[in-house]
Structure 1
Amino acid sequence: MNSETEFITRLQDPTSKEAAFRELLQLYKERLYWHIRKIVISHDDADDVLQNTFIKVYRSIDKFKGESKLFSWMYRIATNESITHINKNAKRIRITNEEHQTNAINKLTADVYFEGDAIQLKLQKAIATLPQKQQMVFNMKYFDDIKYKDMAEILDTSEGALKASYHIAVKKIEAILTSD
């Protein structure tokens, strides 16, 4: 039995679930926060989505069958929660998801948690112009260096489609960044 299998067993055992879940939080909260933050942009939204993600993980861990890595499964939950959050907010204020993302990027300079410079802001604005799936693929590959194999599990798509999406995203971003 490998260490991940043992960890999952501890997470699914009622006598060790609480302690194992605290360990899970420590292991993954920062990585998941930044994954979510790249999708929803706002720090406050990212905190909310992160909390919802861990609630879902806690409630669903007993159903986890280990068909993918624990990390990939949690990233998929975080990704889905992020998309749901964006869709809900956009619908609530009656704008498209793209307009919602543009608004979030435009507010980024006022966000006290954004520590980027002008170049990073320009990159974030360029990423925001991409369709949602290309944004996620670009962020996961460029910033998180997630392997296409793992990304395929997280996003439930083929490695070939992800490579194509990443290539297209890079070309679009390069075009935007060099257009000034």
Structure 2
Amino acid sequence: MLTPEEAHIVSQLKQGKNKEKAFQELVNLYKEPLYWHIRNIVKNHDDTDDVLQNTFIKVFRYIDNFKEESKLYSWLYRIASNESFTFLSKKAKRLKISDEELQESLIENLTSDTYFEGKTIQIALQKAINTLPEKQKVVFQMKYFEDLKYQEIAEILEVTEGTAKSNYHHAVQKIKNNLEDHSTFDF
């Protein structure tokens, strides 16, 4: 299931031959898509950089555990997702607030984030996404913002393709209803 490029990188990482070069290739190949995947979850640029770094550290440390039964990017996205959720959970505990309060705070802070070029409708969309159950939220973000195929989402989240589709369609309906109910925008 690995692409030839992925197979080459994984082989070099596992065999230790040119490990640093292979790791740099891996980082160059996946840094940007993983950044945006993580950013959609943690919302903040600096936090995203921290989580991205932790993700690549875990990949480097645990590459020998990669069974090559899935695509490499699926494994990377799974690690990035888990690192993002762990980061948010620890941040909420450190701030002594609930996960929901942290999410609300992160969305409110988007307007002051110099790396966020959002307009009012984008903030409203982020607030609507935040009301979704976790699985629907992640599936929506992967499909809507990252344009992943349902098959890819299913592989990353270790669910069926039907479950991924169902979660996305439920999320879309809930977001649409939320935006219609809580905004002054005409749809």
Q: TM-score, normalised on structure 1?
A: 0.95
Secondary structure at 1:46's aligned position in 2? helix
The 1-side partners of 2:4 and 2:52 are apart by 27
Where does residue 53 of structure 1 map in the other structure?
A: 55
The 2-side partners of 1:70 and 1:114 are apart by 29
1:19 to 21, 45, 53: 21
The 2-side partners of 1:161 and 1:3 are apart by 30
For structure 1, the 5+ residue unaligned runs are none
Q: Which moved more, 1:49-58 or 1:154-163?
A: 154-163
The 1-side partners of 2:9 and 2:27 are apart by 13
Q: Report if aligned partners of 2:9, 2:23 keep a CA contact under 8 Å in 1.
A: no
Where does residue 118 of structure 1 map in the other structure?
A: 120
Tell me which amino acid in the other structure corresponds to 1:135.
K
Tell me which amino acid in the other structure corresponds to 1:114.
F
For structure 2, the 5+ residue unaligned runs are none
The 2-side partners of 1:19 and 1:101 are apart by 37
Identity across aligned pairs (percent)? 58
Q: Which moved more, 1:167-176 or 1:91-100?
A: 91-100
Residue 91 of structure 1: how far off its partner (Å): 1.8
The 1-side partners of 2:68 and 2:137 are apart by 27
Tell me which amino acid in the other structure corresponds to 1:43.
H
Where does residue 160 of structure 1 map in the other structure?
A: 162
The 1-side partners of 2:28 and 2:124 are apart by 32
Q: TM-score, normalised on structure 2?
A: 0.91
The 1-side partners of 2:175 and 2:23 are apart by 38
The 1-side partners of 2:73 and 2:28 are apart by 13
